[in-house]
Copies of this chain bind each other. A is one copy, B any other.
Amino acid sequence: MTNKSVKLEDVAKEAGVSKTTVSRVLNNRGYLSKQTVEKVHQAIEKLHYRPNVVARQLFRQSTHLVALIFPTVDDPFFAQLEAELEKRLAALRYGALMGNSQNNPEKERQYLKLLLNHQVDGLIVGAHNQGITEYQHTNLPIVSIERYMGNNIPIVTSDNYHGGELAVQRLLNDGCQHIIHTNYPSYQVSPNELRQQAYEDVLHRHGMKPITYQVSFDISEEAKKKVFRKMFREHPEVDGIFADNDTNASLIIRVGKEFNRHVPNDLKVVGFDGANITRMLSPELTTIQQPLPEMATKAIELLMAQIDGKPYQKTVKLPVRLINSTTA
């Protein structure tokens, strides 16, 4: 029914007016007699006309499209983040273009190209890759989430340092004596390093020796398990673990069982993220929850300020909270 090839000109002919007039009706601009507006509306109805936004985009030099570049949507944290961002963008009538880099710098570079080619109006980036200088060279509005991307790119983070403190303090309160931290390698100053910093600071204050195991984000579940098995073998004394995210925490708990270490009696584990799905599927996990809805709100706010040429903050740090449950 909706004839794709109906164009403004056809509506104009049908209504017996000029293209200009139809355009004015469409955009509600300029002086128009009630009668004309009426006629045009009728013609639009009759022909099932729908404006071609691409033509409009070409003229306006703006697509009302925002690209979301994240490692993957197949992870509770990023899935929720993208969902929250998308919801807010839709409310502002912006489309959300997905770009999941799989933590592969080459892919991320390709995405950036693909998405820039689609003339997006802005970029929200939460991918982990470093060393991609191309971002600096786009004059596009960008907001980064939990990732340092350069001095001039605003960043939204949660209070990672305090999160680290809360987690380690929780384990100490539980009486843990040998606390290990897992983290993913980061090649540049990155907010998640603050968790490790906090972990080390708190441990030092208590005269304990910090030990961190690096676990890449993009390796297989089995590969991660291997790292954790190594950890249990090398440190049989471990009685508390501060994991860098909830899925790793879950994995660690499982690997612990292989070593006959059961949570929370022989082992305490605190995770990080506290996304909806994780809370739903693993409510027993004690974790540090990041304020995902607020982070999304702030990110959109910063992006829109840039798009509208208004002033905006360079850094937004949002509070985390400890979710007390039964694994620690």
> Chain A residues in contact with chain B, CB under 8 A?
1-2, 4, 48, 50-55, 57-58, 63-65, 68, 72-76, 79-80, 82-83, 86-87, 90, 93, 95-100, 102, 107, 110-111, 114-119, 136-139, 221, 246-247, 250-251, 254, 276-278, 280-283
Residue pair A114, B90 in contact (C-beta under 8 Å): yes
Q: With a CB–CB cut-off of 8 A, which chain B residues contact A53?
A: 117-119
Give the distance in Å from the alpha carbon of A182 to the alpha carbon of B263 in the complex.
31
Shortest beta-carbon distance, A63 to chain B, in Å?
Answer: 7
Identity of the chain B residue whose Cβ is nearest the Cβ of A120 in the assembled complex: B95
**Cβ-defined contact, B283 with A282, below 8 A:** no
Among candidates B48, B54, B100, B115, residue contacting A119 with C-beta atoms closer than 8 Å: B54
A54 touches B50 (CB 8 A): no
- Do A251 and B280 contact each other (CB < 8 Å), given the known contacts A58-B58, A86-B98? yes
Known: A2-B139, A73-B82, A79-B79. 15 other contacts (CB 8 A): A1-B137, A54-B119, A55-B58, A73-B86, A76-B281, A79-B277, A82-B98, A86-B98, A90-B99, A90-B111, A95-B98, A95-B115, A97-B97, A98-B98, A282-B282
Q: Is the CB of B63 within 8 A of A72?
A: no
Which residues of chain B come closer than 8 Å to A118, judged between CB atoms? Answer: 53, 63-65, 95
Chain B residue, CB-CB nearest to A249: B281
- Which one of A83, A100, A251, A283 has the highest number of Cβ atoms from chain B below 10 Å of its Cβ? A83
- Evaluate contact between B95 and A96: CB separation under 8 angstroms: no
In the assembled complex, which residues on chain B have CB atoms less than 8 Å from the CB atom of A2?
A: 137-139
Which residue of chain B has the shortest Cβ distance to A250 in the bound complex? B281
Expressed in whole angstroms, the minimum distance between the Cβ of A120 and any Cβ of chain B is: 9
Q: How far, in whole Å, are A27 and B55 apart by their CA atoms in the complex?
A: 21
Closest to A224 in B: B280
Nearest Cβ in chain B — how far from A313, in angstroms?
Answer: 25
Of residues A48, A51, A54, which shows the largest number of chain B Cβ atoms within 10 Å of its Cβ? A54
Question: Across the two chains, which residue of chain B brings its CB closest to A4?
Answer: B139
Report yes or no: B63 in contact with A73, Cβ–Cβ below 8 A: no
Q: In whole angstroms, how far apart are the Cα atoms of A137 and B6 in the complex?
A: 14
Q: Which B residue's beta carbon lies closest to that of A102?
A: B87
Q: Are A76 and B277 in touch, CB under 8 angstroms? A: yes
Instruction: Pick the 7 closest A-B CB pairs, nearest first.
Output: A1-B137, A74-B83, A79-B79, A281-B281, A96-B98, A53-B117, A73-B83
Most buried by B among A53, A74, A97: A74
Identify the closest chain B residue to A67 (Cβ).
B95
A119→B282 CA distance, assembly (Å): 41
